[in-house]
Structure 1
C-alpha cells in the first residue's frame, strides 16, 4: 500500500529529545492532523510495529534504537470555545507548545495556568503527566480531552474521571498505557484571578517585587518563569528532561521518623500524608552537581539530571538508579522517575 504520509526510516531523534540523546527510530513520521495520524497508525498496524508518540521530547529517555514507528504529534490550534462571567473554556491541539499556550490563555483574560508557566513540552503530554508546579495541577482546570485509540484508529473523549488523574499520574501511564495518543485538550479557566502563592519561593518573590500590591496573573507567570530559569538549565544549552524524579509521598509516621532524624527536611502536607522535596533529598545525599562520565545532576538543582555531552539513554538510566540507591540508603525513601523510558526493547518498557 502506498502511503500519502511521508514516513522516514532509520531516522535520528537526537534533535527531537531535550536530553539530546542519540537515538534512531526504525520509522518516523510527523503528523499535522488527525487524518495523518490515523494514516500513520495504519502503517504501523500493517507492519505490526509499536507506536511511540513524541511531542516536545522533554519527558522521555530514549534508547539507541527504537524498533517502532515514532510519531511526532504536530497538531496545532488554540481556541476560546466559550466565555461566561466565571469561566473561559479553551481548547488546544496536542502539538501546541505548553508555555506558549499558557501565555495565550493569559492574553485572552483566562486565568489559572500562570503557576504552570515555562513547563517544557507540548499540550498533548500535559494530561499524561498531570503536570503541576507551585501548588497547581492540570487537573484543577481540566474538562476533557480527545485521544485516538491506537487499535481502532477512532477518536474517543475522556473526562476528568476517565483520565484517573493522580500526582504526576493518569490512566495513560497505567491501564491505558500505550493504547492512546492525545490529540486535543479542553480546559475551563477562571475569568477572575485566584492567586495560589503558598508554595515554594513564589509568594516571597512577589512580595519583594510588589510589596502589598496584589499580583496580576502576568506578574505570577513572570515570577514563575524567573524562578524556573534560575533553577533549571535551558535544554538548548545543557541536555536535560526537567525534573527527573517525583516528590515522594510518605505517611505521617514516616514523616515523624524523618523529621526526628532530619529536622530541616523540606516537606509539604498532602492530605493525611506528606510530600517530600526530592531535590532536597538528593542534595543531602551529596549528589548535587555530581558528574559521572557524561551524566550528572545539575549544579543549581539536584532534581535535574543533565547530559554533559555524549551520554546515551543507558547512561542516564544507570546514573538515575545510583541516585535512587543513594537516597534510599540515606533516608529509606524510594524515588520514582518522572520521564518515560524507551529503551531498545520497546515491547519491554522499563518502568
Structure 2
C-alpha cells in the first residue's frame, strides 16, 4: 500500500473538479484499511473517505489523508430455491454489480441500473430510482470504525435507511468506512415497472412480458436519454432531493400551479419532483461560463470543463432561493459539499 502526497482528485470525482489531497491511499482489503487506521503515524490525522466520487462537490483542497476503498469481490454466501445472498466488496462498481445480477437473473436491483458510484457508497446514500431503493435488498453492511479500526456489521434496521439517507450520513457520519455489503436477491424476480417512463420505454421496445434484463435495458435507455455521461460532461447526477411536503401545502400549491405533479408517500405527505420545480423556475439549460444546469434535465448541475466547485455551490444556492421564493419549498442537496 502506497501513500502519496499532494495527490490530484480530479479523476476521482464525477464533476471532474480539481482538488488536491494532502495524502492519498488506495486500500484493497479490510486488512490494509485497518493497518492504516491504527498506524501511529496516521491515527491522529484527519481522514476523508472517497469512493467513486459520484456524490461529492469539491470546493477546496482536502487537507487530510484521503482513503479510497478498492475492496473487490462478489461472493455467494448461500442460496435456496427462492433467493441468494451475495457479499460484495465496497470497491466494486455499482453498475457492474447490477449487470452481474441481471446476467444471473438475480432480481431486485435492475431498476438501479447505470447509477454511478461504488457498492460501498450505495447504502450510505440509500440510492434509489424507478420505485426501488437499495434498502429493499440490503441484509447488512460491513464497516470499519475510523477511530479504532474495528469491524462492525450493521443490520438493515441498524442502517436507519431513509430517503437518500442512512445512519452513515447522520449519527455516524465520518465515523465508519464501508467495506462490504450483503444483499438478498430474488431468484424468482418480481418485475417492478410502476413508473410510467419504464412502461413507456418497454412498450417502445415492443416488450409485453418483461424480464429483469428488459427492465434494466429500459432504465439504461431512460437514463442515457435524460442524464449526461460524466465522462463527457462533469456532473453528479441528481443534485437535489425530491422534496416531500405536507398534503395541505401541496393542495394549496396545486390550486396556484395546476400542472404541479405530486406523488403520495404517505397519507399526509406528497413528493414533488425537484426537477420540475427547477425547470418551472426557469433554470433548465442555464449556463454561466464553464458551469450550468443541464439542457435535458434541470435536476443535474454540470461542469462543462474547467469549472469551479464554489461556482457550482453558489449556483445551487441561487436555485434554492429561486424555487423557495416561487413555491415556498426549500430544496435539499443530495450531493455532499467538501
Q: Same fold (TM over 0.5)?
A: yes
For Structure 1 versus Structure 2, the TM-score category normalised by the shorter chain is over 0.9
Q: CA deviation at 1:47?
A: 6.0
State the partner residue of 2:215: 220
How far apart are the structure 2 equivalents of 1:169 and 1:258?
27
How far apart are the structure 1 equivalents of 2:129 and 2:263?
13
Say which SS state the counterpart of residue 173 (structure 1) adopts: coil
Note if 1:117 corresponds to 2:113.
yes
Q: Which moved more, 1:73-82 or 1:191-200?
A: 191-200
Say which SS state the counterpart of residue 140 (structure 2) adopts: strand
Q: Name which of 51, 59, 64 aligns with 2:60.
A: 64
After superposition, what is the alpha-carbon deviation per residue over 1:161-192, rounded to whole angstroms, capped at 9, x for unaligned?
A: 11000000000010000000000001111111
Say which SS state the counterpart of residue 242 (structure 1) adopts: coil
State the partner residue of 1:250: 245
Q: CA deviation at 1:236?
A: 0.7
How far apart are the structure 1 equivalents of 2:224 and 2:78?
33
What is the 5 A alignment of 1:266-285? 266-272=261-267, 273-285=269-281
State the partner residue of 2:97: 101
2:43–2:147 Cα contact (<8 Å) kept: no
Q: CA deviation at 1:44?
A: 7.9
How far apart are the structure 1 equivalents of 2:56 and 2:301?
12
How far apart are the structure 1 equivalents of 2:42 and 2:61?
21
How far apart are the structure 1 equivalents of 2:59 and 2:28?
25
Q: Name which of 308, 311, 319 aligns with 1:312.
A: 308
Q: CA deviation at 1:54?
A: 1.0
1:64–1:312 Cα contact (<8 Å) kept: no
What is the 5 A alignment of 1:11-30? 11-30=7-26
How far apart are the structure 2 equivalents of 1:147 and 1:210?
44
State the partner residue of 1:87: 83
State the partner residue of 1:293: 289
Say which SS state the counterpart of residue 120 (structure 2) adopts: helix
State the Cα RMSD in Å. Answer: 1.3
Q: CA deviation at 1:200?
A: 4.0
What is the 5 A alignment of 1:139-288? 139-210=135-206, 213-272=208-267, 273-288=269-284
Say which SS state the counterpart of residue 40 (structure 1) adopts: helix
Q: Name which of 41, 47, 50 aligns with 1:54.
A: 50
Q: Which runs of 4+ in 1 moved over 4 A?
A: none
2:278–2:319 Cα contact (<8 Å) kept: yes
State the partner residue of 1:347: none
State the partner residue of 2:4: 8
Q: CA deviation at 1:311?
A: 1.5
Distance 1:264 1:158, change over 3 A: same
State the partner residue of 1:348: none
Q: CA deviation at 1:207?
A: 2.4
Structure 1 runs not aligned, ≥5 long: 343-351
State the partner residue of 1:340: 336
What is the 5 A alignment of 1:36-55? 36-43=32-39, 46=42, 48-55=44-51
Q: Which moved more, 1:93-102 or 1:43-52?
A: 43-52
How far apart are the structure 2 equivalents of 1:100 and 1:39?
28
Say which SS state the counterpart of residue 106 (structure 1) adopts: helix
1:44–1:51 Cα contact (<8 Å) kept: no
State the partner residue of 1:345: none
The TM-score with structure 2 as length reference comes to 0.97
Structure 2 runs not aligned, ≥5 long: none
Q: CA deviation at 1:126?
A: 0.5
How far apart are the structure 2 equivalents of 1:257 and 1:320?
26
Say which SS state the counterpart of residue 183 (structure 1) adopts: strand
Q: Which moved more, 1:172-181 or 1:61-70?
A: 61-70
After superposition, what is the alpha-carbon deviation per residue over 1:141-163, rounded to whole angstroms, capped at 9, x for unaligned?
A: 11001000111101100001110
Distance 1:196 1:108, change over 3 A: same
How far apart are the structure 1 equivalents of 2:201 and 2:127?
22
Say which SS state the counterpart of residue 11 (structure 2) adopts: coil
